[in-house]
Structure 1
Amino acid sequence: MSPYSIHVPAPPPERRGHLPFDSIGDIEVTSRWIERGGRPWIPITGEIHYSRLPRERWSQVLGHARAGGLNSIATYVFWAAHEPEPGRFDWSGNLDLRAFVELAAAHGLDVVVRLGPWAHGEYRNGGFPDWLLDRNLKPRTNDPAYLDLVRALYAETIAQLRGLTHAEGGPIIAAQVDNELYDQPEHLAALRELAEELGLRVPVWTATGWGGAQVPDTLLPVFGAYADGFWEETTTEWPAFAPIHFRYSATRDDVSVGADLREALDGVAAGAAADRADVPFVTCELGGGMHVAYHRRPLVSPEDVAAVALAKLGSGSAWQGYYMYAGGTQRTGPHGTEQESQATWYPNDVPALSYDFHAPIGEHGQIRPHHHALRRQHLWLAADGHRLARMASHVGGGSDEPAELRWAVRSDGHSGYLFATTYQPPKRPLAAQPGVQFSVQFDDVTVTVPTVPVDLPAGRSVVWPLRYPLTPDLELRSATAQLLTRIADAAGDLVVLAATDGIPVEITLGDGTAVPLPTPPGPDCFIDLAGVRLLILDDTSANRLYRLELGPAGHGGLDRFGGERLVLANTAVYAEGGDIVARLETAEAEVSVLIGDAWRTWTLTDSAAGHVLLLADLRLDGGPSPLPTPPTPAPTPPRAPTT
């Protein structure tokens, strides 16, 4: 068959200065990307709720998040947790927002503060205190009585953040106002004005834009994408919205996220927002997993999470934001558990305690496979995100027809990345694609990859570099392996690529020279080229690769290896104070550090590591569990004014 063919011209120039965001510090928002320090930058943000984690576990979770390739975290400020009684604010213990932000900075992470006042987050009343809803006012509007209470909340919150914004040399780069508010653009604009009046200055202001939300021009609309949803009906096999997130598309909106609340509380169906060319494609809720409800308990797999994230990059995302990245535990208050429930007029009954969300980092610190699968993508974005951000997305193929190959190219007109996928969840799998070959037409040359057609196995997502600059004089014309990272050490520049199981690795240089592999892909597959080395890892090793900042002399025998190093570990690790901290889930694990072209390996042992059986063969004394109640709320929603 003929190669799949697409022409990728240079994208139009970005627009600057047209958005009402100040270039605070070195961060600027253009029409196509976020810029930092004068060059495009792709933020990688994971949602972590400080108030749902024990304070003593904050550092461990943030350390794993940084090692997972995040460069920022986002967190909700739940009003009910901080002002349980009118005028009495609590910022102690695991409610210490300031300490959490400072600790994130110590781990090298920027922070996005989701200010509320309404948050949702499966919190009772969406995070509103009960006493607020007992007052004669109209919440989530510009009702002066409501805004007076919000002013007090914002003033207390902003006081906690004083000195920690990006403009002040701190980690806070962005703030979100409210959440999933779709019909009050004047109120959203007023919330930003109020926060700025109280002294909060950040380079980026956001509001959730899904479901056709009316977002004012003073806020950047941000979007989400979930592989499944607990809010769907019990009888739904797979939500109608989910399939689009596994293929490449210019559509940013998802009309399903938050639609259950909108329909239940307001009786209004969600509509789709028009895609805007004046703002970059920003996400804040790529599903890092999925919560469960008593009426519906979807299982989102690690493969689902990684495939959706990669599909959004292929579709043009300029900001990868995950919800959740680390699970936690629902808080308890004067009314008991603070979870969303039908008892508080919401559609869903969710667990009274667990907010695990099947996230990459679990409720109790478990490290799951998607932590590793996503890290591969994040390593790549850290190494070449400044180039990828400039590249526009061109969809070559991929409708809702499952037999059609799904593929796209992101390109700046001269170079790019080719995305292709045969992955969709097992409930609706895609078939393998035989004899696959692509012809990508740049303005000055056509690149055919691979040079000989290959079979693309089922259940794979690939990203292949096109015309990647290895040195000023040497180009990687194409490769059927994914770029992982690029690092410089005493031996020179090293470019690391990852093979995909079932797909032969083909490396072609700019002059058409095919580069043979000296060994099968793996930790020892080094290739010496003029001015640069390549390392081609196998799929398993790629999932074990970290890039960590190791410390100066006196740190655990690593004194000779200070600075950024590539680390291979068959257990979860992170860096803290220059040391490697390992989470052992088995009695023995190996950690290797790359020095030149050789790996130095340590074997870690702990006979106590592993799983401990706590309880087994539990039986219910009270008979069978009650049937779940369908997601239909009580007739008096909390958004209505009360007297």
Structure 2
Amino acid sequence: MNDRPPVRELRVHRPGPPVRDHLPYGEPASAPDRIAITSRWIERGGRPWMPITGEIHYSRLPRERWSEVLGHARAGGLDSVATYVFWAAHEPEPGRFDWSGNRDLRAFVELAATHGLDVIARIGPWGHGEYRSGGFPDWLVERGLDTRTNDPAYLDLVRPLYAQIIAQLRGLTHAEGGPVICAQIENELYDRPDHLATLRETAEALGLHVPIWTATGWGGAQVPDMLLPVYSAYSEGFWEDEHVEWPAFAPFHFRYSEVRDDLSVGADLREALDGIAAADAGTQDDLRPFATCELGGGMHVAYHRRPLVSPEDVANLALAKIGSGSAWQGYYMYAGGTQRTGPHGTEQESHATGYPNDVPQLTYDFHAPIGEHGQIRAHHHLLRRQHLWLHADGHRIAAMDAAVGGGSDDPAELRWAVRSDGTSGYLFLTTYQPPKRPLAAQRQVQVTVRFDDADVTVPSTPVDVPAGHSLVWPLRYPLTAVLELRSATAQLLTRIADGDGELVVLAATDGIPVEIVLGDGTTVDLPAPPGPDCIVQLDGVRLLVLDEANANRLYRLDLAGRERLVLSEAPVYADRGDLVAHPETPHVRIAVLPPPEAFTATGADLEPPADAGPWRTWTLTAHHTGPVPVAVETRPATGQAPVPRRGGPLDRLSAPVDYSGATVVRIEVPDFTGADRALLRLRWTGDTGRAHIGDAFVSDHFWHGRPWDVDLTAHAAAVADHGVRLELLPWRAATGVWVDPSVRGVPDGVAVESATLIRIGHVRLRAEGPRR
């Protein structure tokens, strides 16, 4: 047997200059903070810029939670948010527009700006987003117009909508010093480029002037040159049929490839509503940069098909797109929400409204990095690691070409790629694919990248790469003006200056030895195992090498007048110079570098801080915080399952509507006065469930293997009087609903395994004393 590692080499060259000033968007050369689009990247303020955007729907969130969600989004590394402007939410009756409450687009945009976030307004008119009729008002649908075309009668109704949206955004566009940098026209419109062009022209004629105009480009869409096509990538899809074990498109997104298109996203709607078959994948676009707007931040569920997308799925797919050349990372969804309820009931897509899929009536959690009720999920932390890196070096990465070194659909082949400017770059390696079709570990991995002026081989001795990892290793990274990091088997996270000078932060990978090689070939020994105290002293710079667990706790936030690193055991964000934490457990440790002299706390008690190396650590005990087990009958009697039904244009399983035979579970909830938020977390098995507080229908859930969180916060008085009433329908495997293989095999019936009151705290830490 030959144990010698295979030769893996790739020659990279300096990319040629991009094509400029050839596209009908961007800003004049004299514009302050100018945004321009070249053939390969987006530019801002005269240098390449890699935007990081997350979808957050203001009209699906309680207005009082906007600031918290936006704060966490900014702390997660986003620099912009995208949001649908759903027509039905704003013009429920012809000519009567409503921008009040959580419909207040202007207030949402202004609040985003206070958190340092730009805004992409998805102005429709058709939006989809699992909204009934794609967000078209019922009255519009009932008129039977030739919608989504240049039919004059339809455009006569679009103009007042656009005029209203534009009035909301007046004074808030980038040219006016505001945060609105982009407008997306329509959504998933494949074969009407003339209509897309007309919509932009209409918006501009009404006064909307933004530097970037986009349209969704997947499915082989015909996007006119006046719009930048933006792409998607999902690791699963609730829109597939229940007999599909794993969508055919999904494995592709875990490989490195220059192909941008995805022919399957929205394909069921294209077929069912428009009668259009999938097109061929688009060819490589050499005149417009590779931009995404829908990297799957999670996945919704439908009644017939209920995928489980893991945090690792989300993070590894996103990283694969960077390795493939993405110049704009955009996530759908980044924060979940709740479907709106209108004059005719809840406004989700369903078989009853002509859609192929029945989705839950209320929840639009999407298992996003920030959940429907503000839950902070693991992929919020995993993605933040990537975003820290993009903030630190995105101006260089955006200008680097991507080249695939290896990796087909053969699971035995090492998948790797390089992004390079011809003299430096990053090596990407992956052994990750979801558990449905995992990849094996790779033995004796070593790669040589041949730059124009030198070769770099990393690592110096071949290493085994465990299964389930995606790696990004820097090559010839400039540490200072005269000192180069030739290579490292650790990921670059960020860099920051403190009183002792520059600090470059790297993250080790569990199971892979850290090797750091300087430009002269010197190998640097670590003074300690990777962790918060592993600091390498070099000439003019220090390296901090974190372990994976601490890398996932690392934030970079603007606190007390300067940027600081924060290691936190609870989700945190910055607000007007203060540190805000939302712990789910009473005791939390938070370390800061460079540290302020002291903190004062609201909502928690603080112990005296402890210093260790450059970090100062505070331990806090949060008030009114922590889980409380709630008594519940563990195996209630199973009610009668309704007879399965099918419906919609693709004849898929329909969600039950008859709950008359449901198992009814009543839960008395302990007092949660003082908690910032209170969730009832249910671990259960069954088919579908509804939660009521008194007469109010407050939550629903299609069981798919994850806990069901019911937000009690706004219903404290009613919960005290009535408790929570669950109506649960039993699981019947014979119905044929698709669930993930990891949760199959549950017995038929209903089982409530546990109920827990999750009390989430709100702690504000304000710095005192000298600011270092």
TM-score by length of 2: 0.80
TM-superposed deviation, 1:3:
3.4
The yes-or-no answer on 1:174 pairing with 2:182 is yes
| Aligned pairs (5 A) from 1:400-411 | 400-411=409-420
Q: Distance in 2 between matches of 1:291 and 1:216?
A: 30
* 1:487, distance to aligned residue in structure 2 (A): 1.1
In the other structure, the counterpart of 2:353 is 344
Structure 1 residue 270: Cα displacement: 1.3
Q: 1:627 and 1:607 mapped to 2: Cα distance?
A: 47
Indicate whether 1:18 and 2:22 are aligned: yes
Write the letter of the residue equivalent to 1:565.
Answer: R
Q: Equivalent residue for 2:365? A: 356
Q: SS of the residue aligned with 1:464? A: strand
Displacement of 1:499 after TM fit?
A: 0.1
Larger strand proportion of the pair? 2
Is the partner of 1:390 in helix, strand or coil? coil
2:61 aligned residue: 53
Secondary structure (helix, strand or coil) at the match of 2:163 reads helix
The amino acid that maps onto 1:104 is: A
Residue 610 (structure 1) aligned to one of 626, 631, 647:
626
Alpha-carbon separation, structure 2, partners of 1:631 and 1:432 = 43
| Structure 1 residue 528, shift from structure 2 partner | 1.0
Counterpart selection for 2:641 from 621, 624, 629: 624
Counterpart position of 2:278: 270
Match of 2:126 in 1: 118
What is the deviation of 1:631? 5.8
Cα gap change, 1:631/1:464 in structure 2, threshold over 3 Å: closer, same or farther?
A: farther
Write out per-residue CA displacement over residues 345-367 of structure 1, whole angstroms, 9 at most, x where no aligned residue.
11000000000000000000000
> Cα–Cα, structure 1 residues 41 and 564, in superposed 2: closer, same or farther, change >3 Å?
same
Report deviation, 1:578. 0.7
Confirm or deny: 8 A CA contact 1:295 1:630 kept in the other structure: no
Is the CA contact (8 Å cut-off) linking 1:182 and 1:211 kept in structure 2?
yes
- Per mean C-alpha deviation after superposition, the further-off stretch among 610-619 and 467-476 is 610-619
Give CA-to-partner distance per residue, 1:453-482, whole Å, 9 cap, x none.
000000000000000000111100000000
The reply on whether 1:600 has 2:600 as its aligned counterpart is no
The residue identity in structure 2 corresponding to 1:14 is P
Q: Is the 8 A contact 1:497 1:536 kept in 2?
A: yes
**Are 2:354 and 2:648, in contact at CA under 8 Å, matched by a contact in 1?**
no
Contact 2:352–2:648, Cα closer than 8 Å, also in 1? no
Q: Residue 275 of structure 1: CA displacement?
A: 2.3
Structure 2 equivalent of residue 587 of structure 1: 586
C-alpha deviation, 1:633, in angstroms: 4.9
Do the aligned partners of residues 628 and 542 (structure 1) sit closer, same or farther apart at CA in structure 2, a change above 3 Å counting?
farther
In 2, distance between residues paired with 1:375 and 1:628? 43
Supply the distance in 2 between the matched residues of 1:230 and 1:628 (Cα, whole angstroms).
18
Matched, 1:212 2:220: yes
SS in 1 for 2:361: coil
2:645 and 2:15 map into 1 onto residues whose CA distance is: 51
C-alpha distance in structure 1 between counterparts of 2:559 and 2:317, whole Å: 32
Q: Distance in 1 between matches of 2:64 and 2:262?
A: 37
- The answer for the alignment partner of 1:98 in structure 2 is 106
Contact 1:326 1:360 in 2 (8 A): yes
Q: Work out whether residues 294 and 628 of structure 1, in 8 Å CA contact, stay in contact via their aligned partners in 2.
A: no
Letter in 1 for 2:574: A
Paired position in structure 2 for 1:388:
397
Aligned partner of 2:307 among 298, 303, 309: 298
Kindly state the Cα deviation for residue 623 of structure 1 after the two structures are TM-superposed.
1.2
Q: How far has the Cα of 1:238 moved from its partner? A: 0.5
- Where in structure 2 are the equivalents of 1:423-438 lying within 5 Å? 423-438=432-447
Gaps of 5+ in 1: 552-561, 636-643
Instruction: Tell me the CA shift for residue 51 of structure 1.
Output: 0.2
Residue of structure 2 in register with 1:253 after alignment: 261
- Residues of 1 paired with 2:209 and 2:102: CA distance? 25
Tell me by how many angstroms 1:274 deviates: 2.2
- Between stretches 261-270 and 474-483, larger displacement belongs to 261-270
The answer to whether the 8 A contact 1:422-1:433 is kept is yes
1:620–1:125 Cα change, 3 Å? farther
2:239 maps to 231
CA contact (8 A) 1:345 1:634 kept: no
Contact 1:246 1:307 in 2 (8 A): yes
The amino acid of 2:619's aligned partner reads T
Look up the match of 2:563: 564
Unpaired runs of 5+ in structure 2? Answer: 596-612, 653-772
Task: State the SS of the aligned residue for 1:471.
Answer: coil
Larger radius of gyration: 2
Distance 1:213 1:475 in 2: 44
Say whether 1:163 aligns with 2:171.
yes
User: Does the CA-based 8 Å contact 1:115-1:178 persist in structure 2?
Assistant: yes
Q: In the alignment, what sits opposite 2:74?
A: 66
Q: Are the equivalent residues in 2 in contact too, given 1:231–1:631 (CA < 8 A)?
A: no
Distance 1:467 1:491, change over 3 A: same
Q: 2:154 aligns with which of 143, 146, 153?
A: 146
Contact 1:209 1:273 in 2 (8 A): no
Q: How does 1:489-500 map to 2 (within 5 A)?
A: 489-500=498-509
**What secondary structure does 1:104 align onto?**
helix
Please list the CA deviations of residues 497-532 of structure 1 after superposition, one character each: whole Å capped at 9, or x if unmatched: 000000000000000000000000000111111111
Offset at 1:582?
0.5
Q: Per-residue deviation at 1:613?
A: 4.7
- Residue 6 of structure 1 aligns with which residue? 10
Write the mapping of 1:68-83 to structure 2, written as runs, cut at 5 A. Answer: 68-83=76-91
Match of 2:491 in 1: 482
Contact 2:585 2:625 in 1 (8 A): yes
- 2:49 aligns to what? 41
Which of the residues 512, 533, 556 maps onto 1:503? 512
Are 1:525 and 2:534 counterparts? yes
Q: Which moved more, 1:623-632 or 1:150-159?
A: 623-632
Q: Distance in 1 between matches of 2:188 and 2:299?
A: 18
Q: Deviations over 1:593-629 (max 9, x none)?
A: 0128511111111253223456744858751155363
Contact 1:142 1:190 in 2 (8 A): yes
Rounded to whole Å, the distance in 2 between the matches of 1:218 and 1:586 is 51
- Report the number of matched residues: 625
The two structures, once aligned, show a CA RMSD in angstroms of: 1.4
Which residue of 2 is the match for residue 557 of structure 1?
none
The answer to whether 1:455 aligns with 2:471 is no
Q: 1:459 to 1:621 in 2, by over 3 A?
A: closer
Match of 1:558 in 2: none
Q: Does the 8 Å contact 1:591/1:602 carry over to 2?
A: yes
Higher relative contact order (CA 8 A, sep 6+): 1
Change (3 A) 1:625 1:549: farther
Tell me the equivalent position of 1:515.
Answer: 524
Match of 2:333 among 313, 324, 337: 324
Partner of 1:315: 324
SS at match of 2:626: coil
Separation in structure 1 between the aligned mates of residue 642 and residue 204 of structure 2, nearest angstrom: 50
- Distance in 1 of aligned mates of 2:231 and 2:502: 37
Contact 1:11/1:412, CA 8 A, preserved across alignment: yes
AA aligned to 2:299 is M
Tell me, yes or no, if the aligned pair for 2:530 and 2:547 is still in contact at 8 Å.
Answer: yes
Letter aligned with residue 7 of structure 2: P
Q: Is residue 543 of structure 1 aligned with residue 552 of structure 2? A: yes
